[in-house]
Amino acid sequence: MSYFTIKRSLFLVPTLSMMEEYKKIDKFMSLLEKSGVAKILKNVNNFDEKCKGPNGYNPYNLFAAIVYCFATSKASLRDIEDRCTYDIRVLYIMEGNVPAFNTIGNYINEYILPYQYEIFTLINKQIIKELQLDISNVYNDGTKIEANANKYKLV
pLDDT averaged over every residue in the chain: 80
Residue 59 burial (CB < 10 Å; 0-12/13-18/19+)?
Answer: buried
Percentage with pLDDT > 90 across the chain: 23
CB 63 within 8 A of CB 35: no
Q: Contact at 8 Å (CB) between 126 and 35?
A: yes
Residue 1 has pLDDT above 50, yes or no: no
CA distance 10 to 154: 51
In a domain, 30, yes or no: yes
**For position 66, what pLDDT does the model report?**
93
Examine residue 9 and state whether it is found in any structural domain, yes or no: no
Taking residues 5-9, what's their average pLDDT? Answer: 63
Does residue 59 form part of some domain? yes
pLDDT at site 105: 92
Q: Tell me whether residue 137 is in a domain.
A: no
- Cβ atoms 84, 65 nearer than 8 A: yes
For 17-26, 71-80, 84-93, which range has the lowest pLDDT when averaged over its residues? 17-26
Over residues 23-37, the pLDDT tens digits come to 888 898 899 999 989
Number of domains composing the chain: 1
**Does the residue 146 lie in any domain?**
no
Domain annotation covers residue 11 = no
3 inside domain:
no
Residue 94's domain comprises 16-131
Q: Is residue 8 part of a domain?
A: no
Residues 99-132 pLDDT 10s: 889 989 998 998 899 999 999 999 999 998 998 8
The kind and range of the H/E element at 55 are none
Q: What counts of helices (H) and strands (E) characterise the chain?
A: 7, 0
Q: CA neighbours within 13 Å on the CB side: how many for 17?
A: 2
pTM of the complete model: 0.76
Of 50 and 141, the structure prediction assigns the larger pLDDT to 141
